[in-house]
Structure 1
Amino acid sequence: MNTAGDRLQDAARQAALALPDVSHGYPFTPGLDVYKVAGKVFLIVTDIVTDDPDDRIITVKCEPEHARAHVRGYASITPGRYLDKRHWISLGPGPGITERLVTDAVEDSYDLVAERLPRRDRPGAR
């Protein structure tokens, strides 16, 4: 059975892999599926299989003002787990967490990271 957390994570993975020049792997620990653009992290999928639905999250980079708005607006969006709480948010399954919201969060995170890269390292610059 595919749980809401699994669907959320699948949507995030698909959105990330549809973007240009994305790499992914497990550089930190086997339980964290990390997605990067030009070597910079923009998405972390907590890939730990437990019975706790709170472990089925994704973490994305976010502008601080947008991060605060998301945390205020959704019970299952929290400041980024294990990361800078101002610049990262974690999304878990819950009311209002749609596939579109997840896809938008992943794409926004990618754009935020990519636009801060040196021009020569940005996707499509080669």
Structure 2
Amino acid sequence: MNGPTEAPGRPAGDQLQDTARRTALALPGTDHGHPFTEHLDVYKVAGKVFLIVTDDPDEQIITVKCTPEHARVLVHGHPSITPGRYLDKRHWISLGPGPGITERLITDAVEDSYDLVVERLPKHDRPGTR
């Protein structure tokens, strides 16, 4: 199949990143910027990072927070999911386009990352419930 997706329901890199960005921006209290470098689009809640989108056409990945147990399952089950590229490799994973990487998986990964960060915030710093 020619075009931006490798197969129906499996996003190409730019679509993977767009899905992650849309998902993150829909979550309460999210802000984003480029605090580290212009090539890393960083999404935070209450000042804590939960998503990094790599703005490099040769490396279209997203990096999210994940429990170590879930990270092991995802890395083992998907060749395009690796331990986190920029952060603690036990608690972060990077997702690139590839077999089994669906919009649903991306949305779930971003929302789970957000939830992990929010649940560690003091109650008074937590955004409204979703």
TM range (shorter): over 0.9
Secondary structure, counterpart of 1:85 in structure 2: coil
- Return the alpha-carbon distance in structure 2 between the equivalents of residues 82 and 21 of structure 1: 23
Partner amino acid for 1:67?
A
Match of 1:78 in 2: 82
Match of 1:88 in 2: 92
- Return the alpha-carbon distance in structure 2 between the equivalents of residues 124 and 100 of structure 1: 23
Which consecutive residues of structure 1, in runs of 5 or more, have no partner in the other structure?
Answer: none
Secondary structure, counterpart of 1:23 in structure 2: strand
**Which ranges of 4 or more aligned residues in structure 1 deviate by more than 3 Å?**
none
Query: How far did residue 104 of structure 1 move?
Result: 0.2
Give per-residue Cα distances to partners, 1:42-99, cap 9 Å, x unaligned.
00000123xx3xx100000000000000000000000000210000000000000000
- Return the alpha-carbon distance in structure 1 between the equivalents of residues 62 and 86 of structure 2: 12
- Return the alpha-carbon distance in structure 2 between the equivalents of residues 18 and 82 of structure 1: 24
- Return the alpha-carbon distance in structure 2 between the equivalents of residues 120 and 101 of structure 1: 30
Give the one of 23, 30, 55 matched to 1:15.
Answer: 23
User: Does 1:25 pair with 2:29?
Assistant: no
Partner amino acid for 2:13?
G
Q: What's the % identity of the aligned pairs?
A: 78
Match of 2:117 in 1: 113
Query: How far did residue 124 of structure 1 move?
Result: 2.1
Query: How far did residue 2 of structure 1 move?
Result: 4.5
- Return the alpha-carbon distance in structure 2 between the equivalents of residues 23 and 17 of structure 1: 7
RMSD, aligned CA: 1.3
Match of 2:107 in 1: 103
- Return the alpha-carbon distance in structure 1 between the equivalents of residues 41 and 56 of structure 2: 9
**Structure having the larger proportion of residues in helix:** 1
Match of 1:66 in 2: 70
Secondary structure, counterpart of 1:27 in structure 2: coil
